[in-house]
Amino acid sequence: MRRRQIAPVVATALAATLLAPLTTLTAAASGADHGAAAHGAPLHDASSHQTTRTVDRATLVARATLSADYLAPGPASGALATPANGRTGPFAGQVIPGFSAVLDAGDGTFWAQPDNGFGSKANSADYLLRLYHVDPHWQTSRHGALTGSGEIEVEGYISLRDPDHRFPFPIVHEDTRDRLLTGADLDIESVVRAQDGSLWIGDEFGPFLVHADRTGRVLEAPVAFPDGKSPSNPTLAAGEKPNVPSSGGFEALAASADGRYLYPVVERALLDDTQARRRWVYEYDTRKHRYTGQRWAYQTDMDGDMVADAHTVGRHRLVIAERDDFQGAKAVIKRVYTVDLDRTDAEGYATKTLLFDALDIANPGGIGAGDGYGTGDPFSLPVQSFETIVPLGHDRYLIANDNNYPGNDARVPGTPDDTEMDVVEIRPTRVATDDVTLIGHRGAPAYEPEHTLASYATAIRLCADYIEPDVVSTKDGVLVARHENEIGGTTDVASHPEFADRRTTKTIDGKAVTGWFTEDFTLAELKTLRAKERIPATRPANTALDGLYQVPTLDEVLDLARHSRTCDGKAVGVYPETKHPSYFASVGLPLEKPLLAELHRNGFDRPGSPVFIQSFEVGNLRALHRMTRLPLVQLVDCSGAPYDLRAAGDPRTYADLVTASGLRDVARYADGVGVCKDVMIPRTAAGTLGTPTTVIRDAHRAGLVVHGWTFRPENTFLPTDLRSSADPNAYGDMTAEVDAFLAAGMDGFFTDAADRGTAAIRAAARS
């Protein structure tokens, strides 16, 4: 293990850097170029004959890392740490297990604060709480060449200690002179600097606010949280119920510009909170030494997401880092939002606006390339504990990770993650745009289990314009996203013995179906299940993600969409399909009014909202036509007839709906048709693409847009002449297939692989 000789820092000269003002990397170091056109101005690129526009794009401009195995001076640590990734304690010095919080020292260096060491009180008594003074020797890219070593140099540290006995409870080093604090005393996760240079530190064990001077000496007793204690709180009495979950305290802490007010944020939902996605931002007055009683609600994207860091960027305005608990290819949410505490949405939550997605950062200079998963272009920080966001000014932000040494291995499986510091700049960037509507069919199921937030988020990153949730109802009337109401094939319900007696046979749209059905489960029960790959024989790689992700509510899908942006900077659209509407109406769970209510609650019913509502049935679309002005789409299957027509004795089939007269009738209640590919361009007897029918032309003459479904990359779904091999699961030439349909006049399409759909659209534009 590598070990550098560094000294503890208590001297005035180095500690004084804690008082320094915020500064930034220079434009020269980052190679910044702000010569792009004004935002939103369409441009014509003569070389590619494509329309382009300028959008804000998070771009990697600098990166530096510290070896995961780095050891700082001090006694051995990690004797009880959980072995992982080939590392077993004790370690011959003090581990630096990543950075949970960072302060800008103002001179190009930083003060970086690890957490309590190894994750719990029980295994961290030998870990000393410190802030390390670090100097990143940035790797940057300039004029196509990489410069800088990309290493983080550790120059010194200050130790947190309580020699004046401010703590009212025993600590590990209770009877020593210095009373150095350890990871069994506090779990320090966040830090801000007061105007006098002193430090306010957010802890998770209490959770407490801890005040220390610039050398780390505790100045006053830890401030208790007014709304409960965690299970690790040293003052928790026998029989007293905690209200803060373990590791659910002050991961994030911000301060007002003048330092008077602190804004600690609980990382997870309080235990008495009925809203699993609600987190609270509190206000503490450092002059009056008390909480003000003011708090604001923040809503996470998913139930299990954590508020990982926060900084003020104006009065009652914060930047907040939000993360899930996954790493590597399994990561879904590693995002930075701008939050306005003075504005609330329809549900009473502080409004949040996406600043950037740390899983989708442009890296044209190839900074960090080859360092493992996520270090290409785009670059990502797919670590489990993305826990640091520091505004550096001039649209630049520092992000960093806690590597939970030795446990995390997001970059290279089996190797502990290094600690890394990345500088991201929000740059005006020209991107291609077009008028073809790209719909992420059930998200991006070529790469993720369908109808999960992971699948939808991936589709957005892969440049889908719309995401498509199929909508069914729970027993308690909550709309959720599933391809069918029978969930045996898309969740792990069969492995839950408590639900074994729910397996039954029902008649759905005239067919007997056996399994488990959403309408027999409450939302709370459904949330105990996890999604799995629907077609594992075709997409075996996706089975590695089985058992990870919840069944999302429609509200969660809409939230994700409205807090995201497309690759060309527009609002992400939603394209919900009402599944089996006649059946759900027959069991007292009609879909139409709840769907419109959810769209309204999330602001998707305003003029110009990017929404299409679709259905394979006719009657509920006619009903929706009377209830809303949102665009409606009549789905057309490859064969057969709408179930509601069959049930009513109406002889019309889907083939009748796409005749010229049938399409004119559809246009009386719908704005478009979603058509099976074979109806637009049938396949020949040999399985190749045949001659286009008149359906697209006739639909356009009736004033309808035409969206085709479903374009998939695997050979088994492609025309025979576009397959790459005899392997049914290998990818073939989906680009050529899409091109044929676009040439026939199709306006947009559903695809399982939005990246390949995007490539096909661009190829068609070039041709």
Residue 708 confidence (pLDDT) above 90:
yes
Instruction: State percent of the chain over pLDDT 90.
Output: 92
C-alpha to C-alpha distance for 265 and 281, rounded to whole angstroms: 4
Q: What is the DSSP letter of 327?
A: -
> CA 211 → CA 60, 286, 395, distances in Å?
34, 10, 30
Residue 233 confidence (pLDDT) above 70:
yes
Residue 35 confidence (pLDDT) above 60:
no
- What are 443-486's pLDDT values in tens digits? 999 999 999 999 999 999 999 999 999 999 999 999 999 999 99
C-alpha to C-alpha distance for 462 and 234, rounded to whole angstroms: 47
Determine the Cα angle at 571 with ends 568 and 573, to 5°: 110
Higher-scoring residue by pLDDT: 13, 124: 124
Q: What is the reported pLDDT for 767?
A: 78
C-alpha to C-alpha distance for 472 and 642, rounded to whole angstroms: 18
Confidence of residue 711 (pLDDT cuts 50, 70, 90): very high
Could you give all domains of the chain from N- to C-terminal order, each with its CATH number?
7-432 (2.120.10), 433-482+551-766 (3.20.20.190)
Q: Which residues are CB-neighbours of 314 under 8 A, at least 6 positions away?
A: none
Instruction: Note whether 360 and 381 are within 8 A (CB).
Output: no
Mean confidence (pLDDT) of the chain: 93
- What are 140-192's pLDDT values in tens digits? 999 889 999 999 999 999 999 999 999 999 999 999 999 999 999 999 999 99
Which residue is listed with tokens 């003002």? 21
Q: What is the reported pLDDT for 490?
A: 98
Q: What is the reported pLDDT for 476?
A: 98
C-alpha to C-alpha distance for 212 and 214, rounded to whole angstroms: 7
Q: What is the reported pLDDT for 48?
A: 29
Instruction: Note whether 249 and 239 are within 8 A (CB).
Output: no
Q: Is 363 exposed, middle or buried (0-12, 13-18, 19+ CB in 10 A)?
A: buried
- The enclosing H or E element of 656 equals helix 654-657
Residue 271 confidence (pLDDT) above 60:
yes
Q: What is the average per-residue pLDDT within 606-631? A: 97
The strand pairing partners of 425, in sequence order, are 59, 396
Q: What is the DSSP letter of 180?
A: B
Give the residue among 529, 522, 518, 545 at the shortest CA–CA distance from 494: 529
> CA 100 → CA 265, 695, 702, 723, distances in Å?
14, 58, 59, 49
Confidence of residue 20 (pLDDT cuts 50, 70, 90): very low
Maximum distance among all Cα pairs of the chain, rounded to whole angstroms: 92
- What are 397-407's pLDDT values in tens digits? 999 999 999 99
Instruction: Note whether 43 and 193 are within 8 A (CB).
Output: no
User: What is the number of residues in the chain?
Assistant: 767
Residue 85 confidence (pLDDT) above 50:
yes
- What are 342-365's pLDDT values in tens digits? 999 999 999 999 999 999 999 999
Q: What is the reported pLDDT for 432?
A: 87
- What are 531-573's pLDDT values in tens digits? 999 999 999 999 999 999 999 999 999 999 999 999 999 999 9
Question: In this structure, what token pair is assigned to residue 334?
Answer: 């590693």
Q: What is the reported pLDDT for 28?
A: 34
Q: What is the reported pLDDT for 548?
A: 98
The whole-model pTM stands at 0.93
Q: What is the DSSP letter of 753?
A: -
Residue 752 confidence (pLDDT) above 70:
yes
Residue 5 confidence (pLDDT) above 50:
no
Confidence of residue 50 (pLDDT cuts 50, 70, 90): low
Q: What is the reported pLDDT for 41?
A: 29
C-alpha to C-alpha distance for 349 and 3, rounded to whole angstroms: 47
- What are 303-333's pLDDT values in tens digits? 999 999 999 999 999 999 999 999 999 999 9
Q: Is 500 exposed, middle or buried (0-12, 13-18, 19+ CB in 10 A)?
A: exposed
Q: What is the average per-residue pLDDT within 369-388? A: 98
